[in-house]
Amino acid sequence: MANSLEKFRIFIANAYRDSASGEAFQSYNPFTGEPWAEIPKCDARDVDAAVEAAHCALYNGPWGRMTPTQRGALMRKLGDLITRDADKLAATEVRDNGKLLTEVKAQVGYLPQWLYFYGGLADKINGSVIPIDKNEMFSYTLREPVGVVAAIVPWNSPLMLMMWKLAPALAAGCTMVIKPSEFTSASMLQLAALFAEAGFPDGVVNVVTGFGGDVGDALTSHPLVAKVAFTGGEIAGRKIIENSAASFKRLTLELGGKSAQIVFPDAELDAAVVGGISGIFAASGQTCIAGSRLLVHESIYQQYTEKFVAMARQARMGDPMDLSTQVGPVTTQPQYERILTHIDNARSDGARCMLGGEPAKRPECGTGWFIEPTVFADVDASMRIARHEVFGPVVAIIPFKDDEEAYRIANDTDYGLAAGVWTTSIKRATVAPKRLRAGTVWVNTYRAASFLAPFGGVKMSGFGRENGVEAIDQYLETKCVWLSYGSDTRNPFVMG
């Protein structure tokens, strides 16, 4: 089996190489539960090499001397190459993380838009002239790249969430070292070749692979790394904050979520059911924005719940490479086991399981890590299933009496990444986004995303924003320049 596995190499200074240790670990196909690839196991030596390459490219190499327009042209070229190779990249990612090919093809096909958008912004980063209150002084600002960026990417949507960091960072003039999840490194390593083909100078983008203790810690504490952009869980987020504190690195952290979808009594019921299904069972619930809490008004609670369960029961499970599949496997075996523990906890807390609640034994699921779409009803907001992030195909349906109670329950969480609202009332559609403490609020839709729209969380869901014009500011520093054109001699002991 080991000899038949596809072997990958890390990418540093525009070249593939073996890890310093020469060791590797296996990546598993979630649909079969079997290993399919060997990924290099890096350590601090590889991190040093990658960070040094990135630092040299920015401060001593051609990247730092390029005009913003030249950088933008390279980004557009990279976008064209991703379009060319989109099908191959999507197939690799599905093999690695088990997400539906239909969704991954759409995600990878959309990636170039980030590069085109931010490539266009690269030469539109403006400083300002300050109308300073000093005679014979001229003052202005420059916007400069923050430096070497460490991007740490999770396993659920590795290429998409990588691009959310890469595109604005390159437009700002930064260089980058990317660490994909140890569970899903293959697609990023495959894409890396396109940086060299597009003509990026050596060291602008580098990819190292491995585990948090070996690679993540070394990268997030490295003295030459100026900023860390991370998507993942709050435990790792806390560790990154600790590691970065010694050198006061800039941080963008997009962490967990326990998002609520509120279904008001005036909602279009069928649309709200479809939106609820999309929010929790798309991507098998393995998304930080999963609408894992459905808050439904008591007057429509029974009707809504029955429709929701009936639609969820019809979901087609199976091979994620099959375009007709609707619910795929859980990406990792440890996550599969965690989800089952959450389900057991919900039962023991008294939640009523209306659907699923067990591993999928359907023939079309083969030997993979599948869990049946699971619906818990009559959930109290204090139950663990309503408070802990499950990150799987499990939803808690919670009744509410009035608008105020809905907002209270929705905000009664440590997280604040996203929320959904279903209503035909213009008043509710306007008031609800103001009342909900979340970085994104969808009204009569769910899981919409764009390179144009800023994304990020509040509370324990993190800080900083990705996407939109706002994202580029996360990778820039402002430098103030003072120029004196006066002839008067100033008193050297007085600030002026």
Q: 3-class secondary structure for the chain?
A: CHHHCEECCEEECCEEECCCCCCEEEEEECCCCEEEEEEECCCHHHHHHHHHHHHHHHHCCHHHHCCHHHHHHHHHHHHHHHHHCHHHHHHHHHHHHCCCHHHHHHHHHHHHHHHHHHHHHHHHCCCCEECCCCCCEEEEEEEEECCEEEEECCCCCHHHHHHHHHHHHHHHCCEEEEECCCCCCHHHHHHHHHHHHHCCCCCCEEECCCCHHHHHHHHHCCCCEEEEEEECCHHHHHHHHHHHHCCCCEEEEECCCCCEEEECCCCCHHHHHHHHHHHHHHHHHCCCCCCCEEEEECCCHHHHHHHHHHHHHCCCECCCCCCCCCECCCCCHHHHHHHHHHHHHHHHCCCEEEECCCECCCHHHCCCCCECCEEEECCCCCCHHHHCCCCCCEEEEEEECCHHHHHHHHHCCCCCCEEEEECCCHHHHHHHHHHCCCCEEEECCCCCCCCCCCECCCHHHEECCECCCHHHHCCEEEEEEEEECCCCCCCCCCCC
The owner of tokens 């929705």 is: 410
pLDDT of 328: 97
Please give the C-alpha separations between residue 28 and each of 47, 289, 422, in angstroms, as whole numbers: 24, 25, 39
pLDDT of 490: 79
CB 261 within 8 Å of CB 419: yes
- Name the token pair of 430: 């306007």
67-95: average pLDDT: 98
Does 55 score more than 80 pLDDT?
yes
**Alpha-carbon gap, residue 7 to 23, rounded angstroms:** 12
205-241 pLDDT, tens digit per residue, is 999 999 999 999 999 999 999 999 999 999 999 999 9
The owner of tokens 């994304």 is: 455
Burial of residue 439, with CB atoms counted within 10 A of its CB: 0-12 exposed, 13-18 middle, 19 or more buried = buried
pLDDT band at 487 (very low <50, low <70, confident <90, very high): confident
pLDDT of 450: 97
Q: Which residues contact 236 (CB under 8 A, 6 or more apart)?
A: 152, 212, 216, 230
| Domains of the chain with bracketed CATH | 2-255+457-480 (3.40.605.10), 260-443 (3.40.309.10)
Does 3 score more than 70 pLDDT?
no
Q: Is 288 a catalytic site residue?
A: yes
**Alpha-carbon gap, residue 184 to 209, rounded angstroms:** 10
Phi, psi at 324, each rounded to 5°: -90, -10
93-101: average pLDDT: 97
Q: Which residues contact 487 (CB under 8 A, 6 or more apart)?
A: 136
Q: Which residues contact 131 (CB under 8 A, 6 or more apart)?
A: none
pLDDT of 333: 96
- Computed over every residue of the chain, the mean pLDDT equals 97
Does 1 score more than 80 pLDDT?
no
pLDDT band at 297 (very low <50, low <70, confident <90, very high): very high
Tell me, what amino acid is at 5? L
126-157 pLDDT, tens digit per residue, is 999 999 999 999 999 999 999 999 999 999 99
pLDDT of 478: 98
Q: How many CB atoms lie within 10 A of CB 163?
A: 28
**Alpha-carbon gap, residue 381 to 416, rounded angstroms:** 16
pLDDT band at 2 (very low <50, low <70, confident <90, very high): low
38-42: average pLDDT: 98
99-112: average pLDDT: 97
Percent pLDDT > 70 in the chain is: 99
375-379: average pLDDT: 97
Percent pLDDT > 90 in the chain is: 97
**Alpha-carbon gap, residue 165 to 262, rounded angstroms:** 31
The owner of tokens 């939106």 is: 275
415-462 pLDDT, tens digit per residue, is 999 999 999 999 999 999 999 999 999 999 999 999 999 999 999 999
Catalytic residue among 38, 93, 182, 254: 254
CB 48 within 8 Å of CB 12: no
Q: Is 174 a catalytic site residue?
A: no
In the sheet where 24-29 sits, what is the strand order?
Answer: 6-7, 34-40, 24-29
167-194 pLDDT, tens digit per residue, is 999 999 999 999 999 999 999 999 999 9
pLDDT band at 107 (very low <50, low <70, confident <90, very high): very high
Catalytic residue among 42, 56, 288, 365: 288
**Alpha-carbon gap, residue 304 to 300, rounded angstroms:** 6
342-365 pLDDT, tens digit per residue, is 999 999 999 999 999 999 999 999
pLDDT of 496: 75
CB 39 within 8 Å of CB 214: no
- Name the token pair of 9: 């190499």
Q: How long, in residues, is the chain?
A: 496
Interior angle at CA 92, CA 213 and CA 9, nearest 5: 50
